[in-house]
Amino acid sequence: MTKNTKTPVVPKHLLVPFIAATSIFALWGFANDLTNPMVAAFKKVMILSNEEAYNVQFAFYFGYGVMAIPAALFIRKFSYKSGLLLGLALYALGAMLFYPAAENGSYTYFLISLFVITCGLGFLETTSNPLILSMGDKETATQRLNLAQSFNPIGSLTGMLIAKFVVLDRILSADYADSSEIVALGAEKAAEIKAFDLNIISGPYIAVGIFVALVFFVIWKTKIPAMVMGDHLSIKESLDRIFKSKTFILGVVAQMFYVGAQIMCWTAIFQLVEYLNESQNLGVDATWWNITAMVSFVTTRFIGTALMKKINPAKMLAYFGLAAALMCGGIIMTSGILSLVFLVFVSVFMSIMFPTIYGLALKDMGEEAKLASSGLIMAIVGGAFLPKLQASIMDFGDTVNGQEVFGDKIAGNITEIHFSFLLPMICLLFVAFYGMYAYKVTKLKTA
């Protein structure tokens, strides 16, 4: 602990490249949280079920699973800077593809565009995280990554605000209670509303595509040093060492469950608010609750990063994982505003999880962290599969051919939407387990 207080988190000679790399963290935060509300937007505009609408999340996060390993091999052969540039190029391309997607009016084309964006994000995250870890003493690596990741939610908040004021508040579909009202207007009017709304949805993505292209040139002109984290090993030697580490393997699983839980909780805010507004006439705005959750998330991450000077990161992860799981239990057992309050507190305790799991899993990996990091980025694919499963639970009591199948309650007064939070609760309990496991391993190594 004494070393952590005396050793700088970022050495002075690496401050400029650290700032340049950290600025990119906000870009994928923007993409993530501009996209989360689009589940609700596409559901309205395209007249979809929850499960169909959640294909937005599937397409978006599936790209991480596809691109993580190619990204790791690419930066291993070339450089961190090359990885950043290729990631930015793919990000810009995917965002610009929203223009032809809107012109065509095809949901599939939008999903392809989101997939291309995420292929770019896969490169950016696979590159940026180990780059930040390598920029200084290994004992401050987890704290340094938490600091860099703290700027990610700034992009997230920007994405949320644009989603609300530029998209959700302007689409014409939002003026109708449900899709049946739009259909009743007739095919021509419904098509007109759809075309208008798709152009509104596309606007922010096209704009960010132009902005990312500008960032590409800034990074191109910035000197990013060729960081080395250890001896250069062959791919086989790296894989042998990587898979001998149970802390790494369990870290990949924990990261998959954490990302799944995060996306489930942040996306389901919109579904939960929609249900509460319809069933209890609360009249609350989902975006403001989403922003409240994100502000809490950002604030606690900065606080948590500071506390890591005094508290072991693995132990903190275990406590936060258990607390977040308990908050999910609160969502399941309550209703009305109280369930939304519990949902906000889930974000409070999720705040430190991604960078802490990442840092713990890659601790002492050396040069093979470049390849190992791809496993942790690939784990983001949990955001593709687990929300789809949650959406299936939400749709459990929907009607088929006009006939109610199961009703809107699972048991007692617990609705499907509330019960669906059992899934993130299980995921967060595994994160708590991983924190305790990593803490015990750390104690054994220092004993």
pLDDT tens-digit profile, the chain (447 residues) = 444 456 777 777 777 778 877 888 888 788 888 887 787 788 878 877 777 888 888 888 888 888 888 887 888 788 888 888 999 999 999 999 999 999 888 889 999 999 999 999 988 888 887 788 777 777 777 778 777 877 777 888 888 888 888 888 888 887 776 666 766 777 788 888 888 988 998 999 999 999 999 989 888 887 776 655 444 556 666 666 777 778 889 999 999 999 999 999 988 888 888 888 888 777 888 888 888 888 898 889 888 888 887 888 899 999 999 999 999 999 999 888 999 999 999 999 998 898 899 888 887 666 666 677 778 888 888 888 898 888 888 876 553 333 343 345 555 567 888 899 999 999 999 999 999 999 988 776 655
The predicted pLDDT at position 367 comes to 62
Q: What is the DSSP string of 96-163?
A: HTHHHHHHHT-HHHHHHHHHHHHHHHHHHHHHHHHHHHHSS-GGGHHHHHHHHHTTHHHHHHHHHHHI
Give the pLDDT of residue 2. Answer: 44
Judge whether 362 and 130 are in contact, CB under 8 Å.
Answer: yes
Residues 20-32, buried b or exposed e (16+ Cβ, 10 A)?
A: bbbbbbbbbbbbb
352: helix, coil or strand? coil
Helix (H/G/I), strand (E/B), else coil: 399:
strand
Residue 77's pLDDT is: 80
